[in-house]
Amino acid sequence: MDLLLQIQNVKKSYDESTHALKGVSLDVRQGEFIVIIGSSGSGKSTLLRCINQLIQQSGGSIIFKGRALEKASKNEIKKIRREIGMIFQHYNLIDRLTVIQNVLHGRLGYMSDFRGIFDLYSREDRWNAYKILERVGLAEHIHKRADQLSGGQKQRVGISRALAQNPSLMLADEPIASLDPVSSDKVMNYLYRVCHEDNIAAVVSLHQVDFALKYATRIIGLKNGLIVYDGKPEDLTQTLIDSIYENEKGQQEYDLHSRAAAQTVVV
């Protein structure tokens, strides 16, 4: 498997007292579906934001396809970002636009400002957007306004918009945190499937351990800005899970949904 992303001793401080990442190292290969688990405040969002340079790390190196992001120019970062799809907890859709218009926004990074301002998407872009929506089961809803959709449908639009970028890496920050267990499983299933079919590597942060165990090819446990587990889901024992989620007071903070929601993966 080809090396896609190298994270080398990455540190991030927001101020003198907040060290969100304290030296994180991680290689991501094509075809991996990595799930990051860890309690609230462990640094999951910070790590994902550093990877697509929404924020800059304070130290260490992030290398995407051989290019060090901290040394890249603004223009290079713009081009690299096209290859990195991002999915958000709160979907970040434009409510007043239709489903397909939201998905077409994934193409903006490839267009001139002029074409972007006037929504001058090519026929090919429109056709591809439709085909993507078909893949996530939304073909009948393409002309609905985004605000008329359920949470699970909105996140499938979020996945579609990221896919429209034609990414080689997909980042998702708690993509199912606002959804009920059944919708969560559906969204994870689509996300897993499209990444698997298109050979897109994924780095997904989740708060729910059961979904991590079900979908990840590899699990990273983050705790207080450090990786405390990096391995296969089948090697993640209950004792390890407990230690990842144990706070200073010795209390557990993980969110294990009923296992009924997490059955077999359909690929």
Ligand X SMILES: Nc1ncnc2c1ncn2[C@@H]1O[C@H](COP(=O)(O)OP(=O)(O)O)[C@@H](O)[C@H]1O
Neighbours of 8 (CB within 10 A): 15
Sheet holding 67-68, edge to edge: 18-29, 3-15, 59-64, 67-68
Shortest distance (Å) from residue 151 CB to Mg ion: 18
**Is position 46 an interface residue for ligand X (rule: CB under 6 A)?**
yes
User: Restricting to residues 64-83, which ones interact with ligand X according to CB under 6 A?
Assistant: none
264: which 2 tokens? 């077999």
Contacting ligand X (CB under 6 A), which of 18, 25, 150, 247? 18
**Is position 57 an interface residue for ligand X (rule: CB under 6 A)?**
no
* DSSP-derived pairing of the beta strands 84-87 and 169-173: parallel
CA dihedral 74, 78, 83, 85 (to 10 degrees): 110
**Of the ranges 13-21, 86-94, 151-159, 235-243, which one interacts with ligand X (CB under 6 A)?**
13-21
Question: Closer to ligand X at the Cβ: 16 or 234?
Answer: 16
In 3D space, the residue among 248, 258, 265 whose CA is nearest the CA of residue 35 turns out to be 265
CA distance 217 to 202: 10
Q: Name which of ligand X, Mg ion, none residue 122 binds, using a CB cut-off of 5 to 8 Å depending on partner kind.
A: none
If binding means CB under 6 A, how many residues of this protein chain bind ligand X? 11
Per CB under 6 A, residues contacting ligand X are 14, 18, 20, 38, 40-46
Site for Mg ion, rule CB under 5 A = 44-45
